[in-house]
Amino acid sequence: MYRLISKISVYKNFDEDNLIVKLSKIFLEMDYIKKMNNPPGLDDIDKDGFISRIYTLINELLDVATMYGFDENLWQNYLAYTLANMENPFTITCEKTGARDGTVNRLAKADLKIFMDLFHYDFSDIEKELGIDCFSVITDYKAIEKSSGRYNKSVSDKVRMLSTKIASAENEEEAFTIVTNFYRDYGVGKLGLNKAFRLSREHGKLELVPITNTLEVRLSDLVGYEQQKQKLIDNTRAFVEGKRANNVLLFGDSGTGKSTSVKAILNEYYDKGLRMIEIYKHQFKDLSTVISLIKNRNYRFIIFMDDLSFEEFEIEYKYLKAVIEGGLEIRPDNVLIYATSNRRHLIRETWNDRTDMETDGDIHRSDTMEEKLSLVDRFGITINFSSPSPKEYLEIVKQLAIRQGINHLTQDELFAEAKKWELHHGGLSGRTAQQFIDYLAGRI
């Protein structure tokens, strides 16, 4: 196996923790020890050591399989996962344009022939020599059925599909077509395989970390607010189609579906190349770095800022203003900012902001207020999600009850209970209605 991997050229940049590399090194050491021993072969101590190391790798493979919901042939799934995650000039070019003519294709096909050999690698001699059967188990595996919320279904579905196709490919030419089409259709690396990301800074390096379990919600799940949803759809559709689009601010009362709408829009347009990066206020200073990481990739990114607001003493909004509009470097065409807030103007205002008569250190306070309010002006579209009227609230309750299959109450009884609930649980909002329906569903 190590001799196979050593001949790879285009796909050479394996991670140091890659299980293929680790396993090949174990097999290489086994061959070396067998030759060095007198007589040649492995004694019981050698075998115990190699068995322990192999089972440690099997445990790591099972952890990956659980994380991504792999099944049937875990070895082939992992090989496909490696191919899907390998970012290099060849794969990123394929992501943008698909396979193109060039000498590099010959090298890539040679690499894929090696991967096909690995796909069908015969572990029987190793198992017989060490008296183990773990490779037979992982290549014919039946995973325990589990909820899609417990693993990264977005990655799992694509990797397993790729694995199945490569396993049935007749030669490297066919495998080349399968893999390059995969890159073109789904992308490569974590940006291609995942929907959403958050920022992390470990050891001083900023990186995008996939959010493995996102809320599987659609805009149709949000009752009411049809005009608001249509505005969001029109702007996002234009964005993913490469047309001109605006940054969006969704503001209004709490519990009205602002954040849910943004999460739903990701699910609606993910398969069209939309990705989302969630960023918090204290990370705004890193916005320029984030944009530099994604501006040349073949995806459309929404930078999502949830529950955005600023107090008087906070200055992070200045970073946001500069990125949206006003800095020397323009915002790339594949990046938009969507924010939600309970405040129409985002930044807390006081009566002192509205007069120039105060003398507490800021001579022109109206200029200060203008600077604060100018942040909202940099969102091209603002969408108001106000609390529903009593009639709208009851309609939301009615529709949610139908969807949940709650029919043990008459409509009058349902509405009477819903009115009682909202009086003690946060007032009129879609969130209150959903919590009430959840309460009824729990009692059935």
Q: What is the pLDDT of residues 263-280, one digit of tens each?
A: 999 999 998 889 999 998
Read off the tokens for 328.
């020397």
DSSP states of 169-190 as a string?
Answer: -SSHHHHHHHHHHHHHHH-SHH
DSSP 8-state secondary structure symbol assigned to residue 347 = B
Read off the tokens for 53.
């190391």
Mean pLDDT of 135-147: 85
Q: Between the CA of residue 226 and those of 159, 247, 401, 436, what are the distances in Å? A: 36, 20, 19, 22
192: CB partners within 8 A, 6+ apart? 84, 95, 183, 186, 299
Strands 205-211 and 196-202, by their bridges, are: antiparallel
* 3-state secondary structure at position 237: helix
69: CB partners within 8 A, 6+ apart? 143, 146, 148, 151, 152, 153, 156, 160
Provide the residue type at 307 as one letter: D
Lowest mean pLDDT among 56-70, 73-87, 138-152, 366-380: 366-380
* 3-state secondary structure at position 123: coil
| Whole-angstrom distance, CA of residue 418 vs CA of residue 411 | 10
The number of C-alpha atoms within 13 Å of 278 and in the hemisphere containing its C-beta is 16
Model confidence band, residue 363 (pLDDT cutoffs 50, 70, 90): very low
pLDDT at residue 72 above 70? yes
Give the pLDDT score at 101. 85
pLDDT at residue 108 above 90? yes
Alpha helices in 205-335 (DSSP H): 226-240, 258-269, 287-294, 317-324
Model confidence band, residue 285 (pLDDT cutoffs 50, 70, 90): confident
Give the pLDDT score at 171. 94
Read off the tokens for 125.
């001699």
Provide the residue type at 276 as one letter: M
Q: Is-contact 241 230, C-beta < 8 A?
A: no
